[in-house]
Structure 1
Amino acid sequence: MKKLMTTAILAAFVAPGMAAADYTFALVPKAMNNPFFDLARDGCYKAQEELADVTCEYIGPGEHTEMEQVQIVQDLISKGVDGIAVAPSNAPAMAKALQAAADAGIPVMTWDSDLLPEDAGLRTTYVGTYNYDIGVNLAKLVMARHPDGGTICLQTGGAAAANHNERLKGARDTLSGMDTGEPPGTALAGEGGWTEISGCPLITNDDGNVAVQGMTDILAANPDLTAFLSTGAFTQWFDNAYRQAIEPYKAKMDAGELTVVVADTLPMQMDQLKDGLANGNVGQRPFEMGYKAMFILKDIKEGKSVEDPIYTGLDVCNNDNADSCLGQ
C-alpha cells in the first residue's frame, strides 16, 4: 500500500531559498508528475517573488491518487497553513476533507477543477478554465472537419473529476445540439449525427501510459472511427509514445477521414499539432492559475472580496493557426 505523505514532508516543497513569510499558502495539484501542473507551480513561485509576505507551498501526490490528495489536504489543515488552493481529483471526497478547513477558519479556493455545486460553499472562489467550454471547443474542431457527424470515442481523466465531467458534457451537448443532462452528460447514440462507440469513454485517471494505450487499442479496433476526442493532455504527454501510436493514422488525418483533438497546449502538444499528428488543441493557462491563486488567497485572508468564479481563458488551435494561436 502506497505510503501517504506526512505533515513533516510538506515543508520540503517550499521553493528553495525562500525565507519564511507572514502567510503560507498551499497550491495542491492533482499530481506532481504532470507537466500541466508544473506550469501552475511556476506561476505560484512567480507570485511568491512578487509578494514579500507570501510563501507558496506547492504539494500534491506524486502521481494521480485521489485519496493521497485528500490526505495531503488534511495534513495542511492540521499544520495550520494560512490558505489552500486545491484542484480536486475527487470532488465529493475533497469536499468532506475541506469541511475541516472551514471549521478551522482556513480560506480555501479551488483551481483547475472545482467542487460540485452543492459543495461550493466550502470554498470562496474558483480560478481557472470554464471547463464546459473546453468540451464545446473540442467538439467544434471535430464538427468543422466532419459536418455530417460519424462515430467518436471520448477519453477523459478521473471518473469523479468535476472538470473532466464538465468537458465531456460540453462536447456531448455541442455534438448533439441538445442538453445531454447533468455532467458528464449522456452518451451519444445518433444525436446530431454522432454515435459514441462501445468501450468509450476511456477513463485514464490522468495516467499518460494508460491514455496512449487506450487510444492505440481503440484506433486499432475501430478502423472506421471518425473522431477521437480527449479532455486532457495526458494523451500527448509522452511525446515519443504518442507519436509512435498516431503516426500510422497520419494519412487518414491528412485526408480528413479521422480527426484527433486533445485538450491543452503544452509545448510537446503544439509540436505534434504543427507536425500534423493532431488536428486541434484547446489550451488552458495553468501558469496564470497558479500565479493568481496566491494573490486571491491573500485577498481572502485579509478580508477583501473576490469574484467567483475567475476564468483564465482558452486558446483554440488547429493545423492552420498552430503557429499563432497561443495567447490570442
Structure 2
Amino acid sequence: MRVLDPSSRITRRIAAVVGLVVAAATALSACGSSGGDSGDTQGAVKLGLITQLSVGDYFVVEANGAKAEAKKLGVDLQVVDSGQDPQKDVTLAQSLITGGIKGLAVVPSNTDIGPRVFRVTDQAGIPLVASDSPLADASGKKAPFIGLDNTGSGEQVGKILASEYGKKGWSAADTYFAVVAAPTLQVCNLRTNAEVSVFQKANPSFPSNHVVTVPYDGTPGKATDSMRTAITAHPQAKHWLITSCNDDGVVGAAKALQGNDFPAANVLGVGLGGDLACQIYADSYQQVAIPTTTYLDAGLIGATAVKTLYTLVVKKGKVGDNVYVPTPQIDKSDYQKYAGCK
C-alpha cells in the first residue's frame, strides 16, 4: 500500500479494498478445509467453523468430529484456523460469509469478540453458534453455546481434588497448591477459579498463601517452565497439589516436579479434559502423580455444533441456550474406554 500516492484519498480507498479482498482470499486458501469430498457436498448447504487447529490437538479432534457429522448430514462444512488470534475470528467470519455459508460456529479466541462477530452474522442474516467459549452481542444476547460447562467442570475438579487430598493425610503446613492458569483465556479462568473456590470451601484451614498461581499459555512446555519457578520459590514444599483448566497444564507442571526428582507419591494432580490421558497412564510417574482426570469428548462437541447449525439452518428449528457435554471422571482402570489410545 505504501507504493501508492498517500496524498490521494481515492487511491487509499482502492488500496484498502484490494487489501481486504486479498486478505480474505489468503485466509481461506491457507486455512480452510472442506468437511467432505467436493463431489459429496457440491450444491449442499454451506456451514462454517472457525477454530484453533494450530493451537492444540483438542481442536483438531473437535474439528474432525464436526467434519464427520457434516458428512453424515450432507452439508458442506468449511473449517478455518484462527490460531487463537481474536482479530482473525472476525475477518475469517467475513470471508466465510462472502464464500456463501448459511450458518457459523465459532470457537472464540477471546469472548470479547462477541459483539463484532454478531454484527457480521446479523448483517448477513445467518445464525451464530459458540463452541467451548460463550459469545454475546453488545446488548448481552448470547449465541447458543455448545461445549463444556466451564464453571461446572472446575467445580467438579475442585471436589475431586478435595476428596483425594483428604485421603492423603498430608499436613497443610508443607503442602502447596499449584493452580496452572492462563489469565488471558476467560474459559481457563472460569475453570481454575472454580477449582480453587471449591477446594478452599472444603478445606477452610488450608493456608491461602500456599495457593500458588503458575501462569502458562495453554501448552505443557510453558506450564513446565513456570512450575520450575514455583518449585524454586517454595523449597519448603513437601507435597504439591496441581489443577489447571486442561490436562496440558497439569501434565506440564508434573513434568517439572518429575525433572526435579520430586517423589510422585508426594504429588496430587487432577486433570481436566482427558486429552492427554493416554500419555498420563502410560508413564509410571504421571499415573501416580495424576491419578485421575475428567474426560471431555472434543469430537462430540464439534459434532453437536454442526447438528445445532443444521437444526437452525436446514430444519428451521429452535435450539436451547446451552448444550453441555458430560465429563465423566476417568483413571488408569478405564481411560482406554474413553480416550481411544492406540
Length-normalised TM-score, structure 1:
0.79
1:273 aligns with 281
1:135 aligns with 154
* Separation in structure 2 between the aligned mates of residue 92 and residue 232 of structure 1, nearest angstrom: 21
Shift of 1:27: 1.6
Whether 1:303 and 2:316 are equivalent positions in the alignment is yes
2:47 aligns with 25
Please give the secondary structure, in 2, of the residue aligned with 1:28: strand
Q: Is the 8 A contact 2:36 2:70 kept in 1?
A: no
Distance 1:77-1:155 versus aligned 2 partners, 3 A rule: farther
Please give the secondary structure, in 2, of the residue aligned with 1:88: coil
Q: Is the 8 A contact 1:95 1:122 kept in 2?
A: no
1:7 aligns with 24
Question: Pick from 281, 287, 303: which aligns with 2:299?
Answer: 287
Please give the secondary structure, in 2, of the residue aligned with 1:177: helix
Cα deviations by residue, 1:11-69 (Å, 9 ceiling, x for unpaired): 542246333343211122234341001111111111122112x11111122x3333333
Shift of 1:93: 2.4
Shift of 1:288: 0.5
Alignment of 1:1-328 (within 5 A): 6-8=23-25, 9-10=27-28, 12-15=32-35, 17-18=37-38, 19-52=41-74, 54-61=75-82, 63-115=83-135, 121-123=141-143, 125-147=144-166, 150-157=175-182, 159=184, 161-177=185-201, 191=204, 193-195=206-208, 197=210, 200-204=213-217, 206-223=218-235, 224=237, 226-235=240-249, 245-248=256-259, 252-254=263-265, 257-266=266-275, 268-275=276-283, 276-277=285-286, 278-301=290-313, 302-318=315-331, 322=335
* Separation in structure 2 between the aligned mates of residue 158 and residue 40 of structure 1, nearest angstrom: 23
Specify which structure has the bigger relative contact order, considering alpha-carbon pairs within 8 angstroms and separated by 6 or more residues: 1
Distance 1:143-1:88 versus aligned 2 partners, 3 A rule: same
Q: Is the 8 A contact 1:263 1:282 kept in 2?
A: yes
Unaligned runs of 5+ in 1: 179-189
Distance 1:242-1:200 versus aligned 2 partners, 3 A rule: closer
Distance 1:152-1:243 versus aligned 2 partners, 3 A rule: closer
Please give the secondary structure, in 2, of the residue aligned with 1:109: strand
Task: Report which of the two has the higher share of helix.
Answer: 2
> How many residues align structurally?
303
Distance 1:250-1:312 versus aligned 2 partners, 3 A rule: farther
Deviates more, 1:298-307 or 1:138-147: 138-147
Q: Is the 8 A contact 1:91 1:114 kept in 2?
A: yes
Q: Is the 8 A contact 1:175 1:194 kept in 2?
A: no
Length-normalised TM-score, structure 2:
0.76
Please give the secondary structure, in 2, of the residue aligned with 1:134: helix
Shift of 1:97: 2.7
Q: Is the 8 A contact 1:70 1:94 kept in 2?
A: no
Large movers: runs of 4+ above 4 Å: 116-120, 196-199, 241-244, 319-327
* Separation in structure 2 between the aligned mates of residue 116 and residue 246 of structure 1, nearest angstrom: 40
Shift of 1:264: 1.6
Distance 1:244-1:176 versus aligned 2 partners, 3 A rule: closer
Aligned-residue RMSD, C-alpha: 3.2
Shift of 1:117: 9.5
* Separation in structure 1 between the aligned mates of residue 35 and residue 338 of structure 2, nearest angstrom: 32
* Separation in structure 1 between the aligned mates of residue 207 and residue 60 of structure 2, nearest angstrom: 36
Shift of 1:167: 0.7
Please give the secondary structure, in 1, of the residue aligned with 2:225: helix
* Separation in structure 1 between the aligned mates of residue 254 and residue 111 of structure 2, nearest angstrom: 33
Shift of 1:213: 1.8
Please give the secondary structure, in 1, of the residue aligned with 2:113: helix
* Separation in structure 2 between the aligned mates of residue 282 and residue 323 of structure 1, nearest angstrom: 13
Shift of 1:270: 2.9
Matched to 2:163, the amino acid is A
* Separation in structure 2 between the aligned mates of residue 198 and residue 140 of structure 1, nearest angstrom: 16
Unaligned runs of 5+ in 2: 1-18
2:10 aligns with none
Matched to 1:30, the amino acid is Q
Shift of 1:191: 4.2
Distance 1:242-1:218 versus aligned 2 partners, 3 A rule: closer
Q: Is the 8 A contact 1:6 1:72 kept in 2?
A: no
